[in-house]
């Protein structure tokens, strides 16, 4: 299991692997948080928020990945697989960013559908 410092460093390396054009207007950058975020609609602790894309007045546009959430969701995952999951979440959040710039909401709608399925069944995808 990666420490928070290792998580933060790995996130920086993963972010550098993504072409710079994907960061257009992402003026707040990409950040790691030590927090474990539980989705507000979670019935318990099973629905963790792994990452978020933010557009906030005064802070701009930025992405956050939550180390505590990754620890909760992937407690025994080998480091290589853990890093692969981090990359998936980073790419997901950057897709939200690009769609926001383009005025699109396809991924936002897909996320809402996935949440609706969870609310109906109590089960997470995957």
**For position 122, what pLDDT does the model report?**
72
**Cα–Cα distance between 8 and 94 in angstroms, integer?**
17
Residue 8: pLDDT band with limits 50, 70, 90: very high
What is the tens place of the pLDDT at every residue in 59-107? 899 999 999 999 999 999 999 999 999 999 999 999 999 999 999 999 9
**For position 125, what pLDDT does the model report?**
62
Domain span holding position 101:
4-121
Would 95 be classed as within a structural domain? Answer: yes
Query: Helix crossing, 79-102 with 106-121: angle to 10°?
Result: 120
Give the chain as a 3 state SS string: CCCHHHHHHHHHHHHHHCCHHHHCCCCCEEEEECCCEECCCCCCCCCEECEEEEEECCCEEEEEEEHHHHHHHCCCCCHHHHHHHHHHHHHHHHHHHHHHHHCCCHHHHHHHHHHHHHHHHCCCCC
Domain CATH for 24: 3.30.2010.20
Give yes or no for a contact between 5 and 81, defined as CB atoms under 8 angstroms apart.
Answer: no
Would 126 be classed as within a structural domain? Answer: no
Domain count, the chain: 1
Write down the pTM of the prediction: 0.92
Would 51 be classed as within a structural domain? Answer: yes
Q: What is the CA radius of gyration of the chain?
A: 15
Would 40 be classed as within a structural domain? Answer: yes
Residue 126: pLDDT band with limits 50, 70, 90: low
Would 57 be classed as within a structural domain? Answer: yes
**Cα–Cα distance between 92 and 55 in angstroms, integer?**
15
């Amino acid at each position: 299991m990666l420490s928070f410092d290792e998580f933060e460093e790995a996130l920086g390396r993963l972010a550098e692997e993504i072409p710079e054009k994907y960061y257009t207007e992402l003026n707040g950058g990409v950040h790691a948080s030590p927090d474990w975020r539980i989705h507000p609609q979670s019935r318990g602790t099973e629905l963790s928020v792994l990452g978020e894309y933010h557009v906030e007045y005064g802070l701009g546009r930025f992405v956050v990945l939550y180390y505590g959430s990754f620890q909760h969701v992937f407690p025994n995952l080998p480091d290589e697989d853990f890093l692969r999951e981090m990359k998936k979440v980073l790419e997901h959040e950057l897709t939200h960013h690009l769609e926001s710039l383009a005025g699109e909401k396809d991924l936002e709608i897909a996320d809402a559908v996935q949440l609706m399925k969870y609310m109906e069944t109590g089960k997470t995808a995957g």
